[in-house]
Amino acid sequence: MVIVVAALALSAFYGLLTRSDRGFELPGRLESTLWSFMRLSGVLIVPLIFGHLAMMHVISGVFDITGGGMTVIGTDVTNESGKAVEFVGARWDMLVAGVAVWRIYDGLLLALVVIHGLNGLRYVVNDYVHPPLANRALNWAIVFGTVALIVLGMARCWPE
Amino acid sequence: MELGAAPDLWLGTVLFLILHVIDTSWAAFYPDLYEDAIRQYQSPLFTIGEFALVACVVYHAFNGLRIILLDYKPAWWIYQRRAATLVFVATLVVLAPTFVLMIGHVLDFYEEDPDLAGWTRSSRSRHNSPPGSW
């Protein structure tokens, strides 16, 4: 919400400043890099997301996140309290040869999916929203939102 | 757009992604809020949404692979009709057993507590938090 308002204000300010009647444009090279990224990340995301769905929705379900006394999927730890935070903590503290595998898995999936998903949203915006002010505002909201979501989501992926 | 004629489904997937990143960050920053979020996800409304989301993701995965393949081998566009059908079939083949297993989880959950109306739970339940109270 804050991001959308800030982006709209920034877009209006930019329009006043430059008298620009054009929408948001990325440098040509970045645009084509993103085109390739959508394909490459797509191929990487498919196995990662299928694994995520298998673990969280099929083998164990959403209801098992709060399953007290149940073994947390992908670990050999029991969720004693049946609290969702213990479930997440057990996965993120799971070490294989000293490596926090689920932090890396989740972190990789997060970064790829957020960029892929919000860049896709950008394509939709550019297909449907042509007025320069709104186009710039939405594009900036998407750029800020992408950065914000990655920072927020990865904040605890690093070991403290 | 990968979901083609149904951009609203596509948008739903991205909106859920945004929601899901935010709620998962609560596991680290606001543990109590995270418990509430997961309780909401266990409510009937989100269970329906969960099935829809899984369907969207599986379809998008196969359809995306089709697009990647045809971008890489433009000569194969002559098979595009068959490719689109194949995507649809692959989606159904993957979704059928997936939904059976997912329904199994839902039934397990509600069998443990048949008192759906009151949302009260016995202390013997392995799930110690009730689903959403709405």
The pLDDT value recorded for residue A5 is 63
Contacts B128 to A, Cβ<8 Å: 66, 68, 82
Q: Which helix (H) or strand (E) holds B21?
A: helix B7-29
CB within 8 Å: A120 and B7: no
**Given its phi and psi angles, is residue A114 left (phi above 0), alpha (psi -120 to 50 degrees) or beta?**
alpha
Cross-chain residue pair B128–A153, CB shorter than 8 Å:
no
CA distance A84 to B33: 10
- Kindly report the number of other CB atoms within 10 A of residue A158's CB atom: 9
Contact A50 B61 (CB under 8 A): yes
The confidence score (pLDDT) of residue A97 equals 83
> What integer best gives the mean pLDDT of chain A?
84
Instruction: Specify whether the CB–CB gap between A15 and A133 falls below 8 A.
Output: yes
Estimate the crossing angle of helix A2-18 against helix A132-154, to 10 degrees: 140
What share of chain A has pLDDT > 70, as a percent? 84
How does residue A102 score in pLDDT terms, banded at 50, 70 and 90? Answer: confident
A39 touches chain B (CB under 8 A): yes
| pLDDT classification of A70: cutoffs 50, 70, 90 | confident
Would you state the pLDDT for residue B110? 84
For the segment A30-64, what is each residue's pLDDT rounded down to a tens digit?
999 999 999 999 999 999 999 999 998 988 888 88
pLDDT along chain B (134 residues), means of 10: 52 86 87 87 89 92 92 90 92 95 88 56 48 46
CA diameter of chain B: 63
Task: Record the pTM.
Answer: 0.82
Q: Is A70 on the interface with B (CB under 8 A)?
A: yes
Highest mean pLDDT pick, A77-81, A126-130, B113-117: A126-130
pLDDT over 90 for what percent of chain A?
Answer: 32
- Return the pLDDT at A2: 62
- Average pLDDT of the residues in A128-154: 89
Q: From A150, A142, A110, select the one nearest A124 (Cα to Cα).
A: A142
Confidence class for position A109, pLDDT limits 50, 70, 90: very high
Q: Give CA–CA dist A103/A91, Å, rounded.
A: 8
CB A150 within 8 A of CB A123: no
- The confidence band for A100, taking pLDDT boundaries of 50, 70 and 90, is confident
Q: Which residue has the tokens 């939405």?
A: A138
The whole-number pLDDT of residue B124 equals: 42
Surface-to-core class of residue A108, CB atoms within 10 Å of its CB (0-12 exposed, 13-18 middle, 19+ buried)? middle
Residues of chain A neighbouring B132 (CB-CB closer than 8 A): none
Q: Which chain B residues are within 8 Å of A127, Cβ to Cβ?
A: 1
Is it the case that residue A12 has pLDDT exceeding 70? no
According to the model, what pLDDT value does residue A98 have? 79
Nearest Cα of chain B lies from the Cα of A20 at a distance, in angstroms, of 28
Do the Cβ atoms of B64 and A127 come within 8 Å? no
d(CA A127, CA A12): 21
